[in-house]
Homo-oligomer: A and B are copies of this chain.
Amino acid sequence: MTRIVQLRRGILEKNDEYAASLRARFTSAGVTVSNWVSSPGTGKTALLEAVLVAAGDRGVAAGALVGDCATDNDARRLARSGAPVRQIVTESMCHLEADMVGKHLDDVDLAGLDLLVIENVGNLVCPTAYDLGEDLRVALLSVTEGEDKPAKYPALFHSADVVVITKMDIADAVEWDRPAAVAALTAVNPTAPVLFTSARTGAGVDELLDLLRSTRPREAS
């Protein structure tokens, strides 16, 4: 196993280097970048669509880069918002890496954007170790997923700068236990703000957009 651990460490170090250069590129363009990570089916794309539409309504120039193992369904769906959207098809890859992000931004006018959202592949484990040069890592969790997910997948939730609860409109229907969910989140990450949202009703969408906008691009290290 030692060879594999060494190889993996080498991949992560290369990713960190590439992510640092991406972060410098984002900072110099003045675009705030968030990396959205969740389980498949949490509703990342639906919420992202709502955020892109809200951004358009408020004159905020927002774009998105969406990762999936297969299909460009999400990019086509998000393009309805009018925002610039690029799809990364990862094939059998279970997460995005910084160089994949960089390559897909070559034809994007980053300086013309205020916000860029990177929607990672739906996966609560593998994306955790890969910095994409983002200013904010956003972990999303839906009310249908079980309140103890942060305890079961602690690494991701620990690494999040913001936690977004999705599908609040069906919280009652699924008997979601809000205190239990918040307690599980706080146990692994006591500092990240938690937003409660619904793409269907629009709850929390403006608040999320405000939070994404108020984050200044991180200084390149």
Contact = CB atoms under 8 A, between A and B. Distances in A.
A70 B151 contact: yes
B40 A154 contact: no
Residue of A39, A41, A174 with most chain B CB atoms under a 10 A cut-off? A41
A40 B145 contact: yes
A218 interface: no
A66 to B, nearest CB: 11
Contacts of A201: none
Number of chain copies forming the complex: 2
Interface stretch (A16-24, A123-131, A203-211): A123-131
Interface residues of A, number: 39
A144 B167 contact: yes
For the residues of A in contact with B, the DSSP-based class is loop
Contacts of A145: 40-41
B123 A71 contact: no
Given A155-B69, A167-B144, A170-B173, A41 B149 contact: yes
Interface string A3-19: 11001000100000000
Given A39-B40, A39-B41, A73-B151, 15 more contacts: A39-B122, A40-B149, A41-B144, A41-B149, A43-B146, A45-B146, A69-B125, A69-B155, A70-B151, A70-B154, A73-B152, A92-B125, A94-B126, A170-B173, A173-B173
Interface of A: 3-4, 7, 11, 39-43, 45, 68-71, 73, 92-94, 121-126, 142, 144-146, 148-149, 151-155, 167, 170, 173-174
9 contacts: A3-B7, A39-B39, A41-B41, A41-B145, A41-B149, A43-B146, A69-B155, A73-B148, A142-B144
